[in-house]
Structure 1
Amino acid sequence: MRIAVVLLVAASGSVETISFTALDHVFAGVMTSNLALLGMAIGRAQATDVTAALLALAGFGVGAAAVARGTRGGTGVVTHWPARVMFSLAGEAIVLVAGAGVWAAAGGTPSGTVRDALQFGAAAAMGAQSAAMVAAQHAAAPTTYLTGTLATYIVKGVGAGHPDRWVPVRLAGLIAGAGAGMALLRAAPPWAGVLPGLLVVCAILTACVPLIRVRRGSVPPV
Structure 2
Amino acid sequence: MNKRAQMSLVLLAGASGAVDALAFTALGTVFAGVMTGNLVLLGISAGQGSGHDVAGPLYALGGYAVGAAATALVCRGVREPRATGWPGRVVACLAAQCVLLGFLAVAGGLLGGNPAGVWRTVLLVVAALAMGGQSAAMIAAGAGAAPTTYFTGTLTTHVTGVVDGSGRGREQLWVTGRLLAVVGGAACAVAVREAAAPWGFAAPAVLAAAAVACQKPAHRMRRAVTELRK
Scaled by the length of structure 1, the TM-score of the pair is 0.91
Query: 1:44-92: CA deviations, max 9, x gaps?
Result: 2333320001001001000000000000010112421100001000110
Structure 1 counterpart of 2:213: 205
Code of the aligned partner of 2:196: A
| SS in structure 2 of the partner of residue 199 of structure 1 | helix
C-alpha separation between the residues in 2 aligned to 1:165 and 1:184?
Answer: 27
C-alpha separation between the residues in 1 aligned to 2:121 and 2:50?
Answer: 16
| SS in structure 2 of the partner of residue 93 of structure 1 | helix
C-alpha separation between the residues in 2 aligned to 1:42 and 1:120?
Answer: 22
- Deviation for aligned residue 1:158: 3.7
Shift of the 131–175 alpha-carbon distance from structure 1 to 2, 3 Å rule, reads same
C-alpha separation between the residues in 2 aligned to 1:43 and 1:191?
Answer: 37
Identity of aligned residues (%): 43
Structure 2 counterpart of 1:117: 122
Code of the aligned partner of 2:181: G
| SS in structure 2 of the partner of residue 99 of structure 1 | helix
Instruction: Tell me the number of residue pairs that the alignment of Structure 1 and Structure 2 aligns.
Output: 212
- Deviation for aligned residue 1:175: 0.9
- Deviation for aligned residue 1:155: 2.1
Calculate the aligned-residue CA RMSD, in Å. Answer: 1.5
C-alpha separation between the residues in 1 aligned to 2:74 and 2:17?
Answer: 25
Structure 1 counterpart of 2:37: 33
| SS in structure 2 of the partner of residue 207 of structure 1 | coil
Is 1:44 paired with 2:48? yes
CA contact (8 A) 1:12 1:144 kept: yes
C-alpha separation between the residues in 2 aligned to 1:21 and 1:104?
Answer: 15
Structure 2 counterpart of 1:137: 142
CA contact (8 A) 1:78 1:138 kept: no
Structure 1 counterpart of 2:76: 72
Code of the aligned partner of 2:34: V
